């Protein structure tokens, strides 16, 4: 009975330590920060769409983006909300595309700098000896 209790305690500690290691890994923390920044960015895009783009569309075209279409049984299709969501998606996708291109360009610059560095030739003792032998043989044949 005591043995089972000890095994359960050890299993619990192992699970907790594994969970702790998982949480403290860098990529999990980076992902959490990305989610937080992404949600903040989403609220900025929503504000841009609802407070700036939709009023411009309403003012220019005379159409209301927040429109509704009434159908049978008192149900409503909110096509304006759908159009707003599509505009939000396109803005977010465009900004992410631009950011990804910038990150890829920065990574390429770093790779090019590494490639441009001349390779330092490190010769082993065997290679040096073979060169000396080759030079000696060339001198003898002349």
- 124 pLDDT higher than 70: yes
What is the reported pLDDT for 120? 60
pLDDT for 81 equals 78
Give the domain ranges of the chain. 2-119
8 Å CB contact between 86 and 92:
no
Per-residue pLDDT, 115: 64
Mean pLDDT of 19-44: 79
CA neighbor of 48 nearest in space, from 91, 112, 105? 91
CATH of the domain spanning 2-119, picked from 3.40.50.300, 2.60.40.420, 3.20.20.210, 1.10.1200.120: 1.10.1200.120
Q: Is 77 helix (H, G, I), strand (E, B) or coil?
A: strand
Q: Is 3's pLDDT higher than 70?
A: no
Q: What tokens does 132 get? A: 């000396």
């Amino acid at each position: 009975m005591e043995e089972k209790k000890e095994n359960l305690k050890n299993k619990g500690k192992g699970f907790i330590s594994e969970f702790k290691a998982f949480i403290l890994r860098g990529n999990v923390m980076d992902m959490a920060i990305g989610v937080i920044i992404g949600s903040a960015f989403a609220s900025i895009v929503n504000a841009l769409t609802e407070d700036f783009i939709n009023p411009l569309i309403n003012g220019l075209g005379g159409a209301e983006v927040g429109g509704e279409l009434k159908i049978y049984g008192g149900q409503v299709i909110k096509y304006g909300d759908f159009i707003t969501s599509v505009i939000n998606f396109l803005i977010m996708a465009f900004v992410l595309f631009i950011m990804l291109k910038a990150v890829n360009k920065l990574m390429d610059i770093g790779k090019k700098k590494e490639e441009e560095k001349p390779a330092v030739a490190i010769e082993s003792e065997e290679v040096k000896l073979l060169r000396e032998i080759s030079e000696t043989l060339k001198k003898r044949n002349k």
